[in-house]
Amino acid sequence: DAMVIQNPRYQVTQFGKPVTLSCSQTLNHNVMYWYQQKSSQAPKLLFHYYDKDFNNEADTPDNFQSRRPNTSFCFLDIRSPGLGDAAMYLCAIGRKLDTEAFFGQGTRLTVV
Amino acid sequence: EDQVTQSPEALRLQEGESSSLNCSYTVSGLRGLFWYRQDPGKGPEFLFTLYSAGEEKEKERLKATLTKKESFLHITAPKPEDSATYLCAVVGGAQKLVFGQGTRLTINP
């Protein structure tokens, strides 16, 4: 059974139209991550939570925000998507920051 | 800043032809090194965790090793189903999981 569930798997949005991606987990792990991955590139860390503590990467655009209302759920909000935001968005969980992370299947975002 | 460099970028092998993938890292105090497999259009699948130099982990045809500067993923007698991108990631003193670009491995039957 999947430990990390991302919805939707595919999302098409219009340029500038806000979009929300969701992630849920079944293991109650403390750490949740959001990564952006473009074609043939390394996953790039956008944010992570350790429990309720939120850590924003310095180079994450202001256009990207995140919410974690409880242990199980995490959301990625893109306020005004641009064409350059088209990518695979990956959610991952971990027990601690220095243990292995388990990834969901990702959401493929297309901006038209 | 923690950095991970993987080589080669792409590797094409014949079925049964063993080889190794390299992951070089620069971190301030290694807390853990991780190997993942990623199939096209899917999220990375966890393979191994290595914590200290000299450590080795094995799973089926894969074996991961760690030194103070690099890690190797050895693949023995690979099969076409081993074709994927293999990602290496580290956690250092900054407490962030940082990935390399990956090695795209193709095994021809």
Query: For B30-83, what is each residue's pLDDT tens digit?
Result: 999 999 999 999 999 999 999 999 999 999 999 999 999 999 999 999 999 999
Q: Which residue has the tokens 């601690």?
A: A96
Query: Chain A: nearest CA to B109, how far in angstroms?
Result: 24
Chain A residues touching residue B102 (CB < 8 angstroms): 42
pLDDT at position B43: 96
Contact B98 A48 (CB under 8 A): no
Nearest to B96 among A6, A45, A88 (CB): A45
| Partner A contacted by B94 (CB < 8 A) | no
Name the more confident of B1 and B9.
Answer: B9
> What pLDDT is recorded for position A40?
87
Q: B48 Cβ partners below 8 Å, 6+ apart?
A: B34, B35, B57, B59, B62, B64
- All residues of chain A having their beta carbon less than 8 Å from the beta carbon of residue B100 are 42
Q: CA distances (Å), B60 to each of B35, B57, B74, B82, B91, in order?
A: 14, 10, 11, 11, 25
- Per-residue model confidence (pLDDT) at position B93: 87
- The CA-to-CA distance between both ends of chain B, in Å, stands at 41
Judge whether residue B99 has pLDDT over 80.
Answer: yes
Report whether B70 contacts B16 (CB < 8 A): no
Give me the residues paired with residue B4 across strands: B25
Pull the structure tokens for residue B82.
């081993």
Contacts of B89 in chain A (CB under 8 A): 101
Residues of A in contact with B43 (CB under 8 A): 4, 6, 90, 92, 103-106
Strands (E), chain B: 3-7, 10-14, 19-26, 32-38, 45-50, 56-59, 62-66, 70-75, 84-91, 97-99, 103-108
Q: Which of A86, A30, A35 is nearest to A60 (CA)?
A: A35
Least CB–CB distance from B99: residue in A42, A48, A106: A42
Q: Do A112 and A94 contact (CB within 8 A), yes or no?
A: no
The answer on pLDDT for A88 being more than 90 is yes
